[in-house]
Structure 1
């Protein structure tokens, strides 16, 4: 289900959920969000955009 992101607080909440999901016990894909290669967590933490496709959400809201 798609929902419209209407403000920065909401965007931050959704990003936190996505960044911490790979750490959940049923996935156990990494121990720290920035370790998961296919997450934007590293981009938001360090500015590294390995795939050159990311835009910071603060630039859009």
Structure 2
């Protein structure tokens, strides 16, 4: 595992929160308040670290 070059290293992170709802729950019934710790729902968090990458330059289709 190699570290990214310094100009591509960041501190960016994404936090994904998940709650478990009853079977048959529909999206419109899920509210932001349900993700609060005091809501009574079990809130799970997962931290995702952002990694920046550079796409390889595709070969040119222009004939020289």
Which band: TM-score by shorter chain? under 0.3
The alignment's TM-score, normalised by the length of structure 2, stands at 0.21
Q: Which has the higher contact order (CA 8 A, sep 6+)?
A: 2
* Higher normalized helix content (fraction of residues): 1
* Higher normalized strand content (fraction of residues): 2
The alignment's TM-score, normalised by the length of structure 1, stands at 0.22
Q: Which has the larger radius of gyration?
A: 2
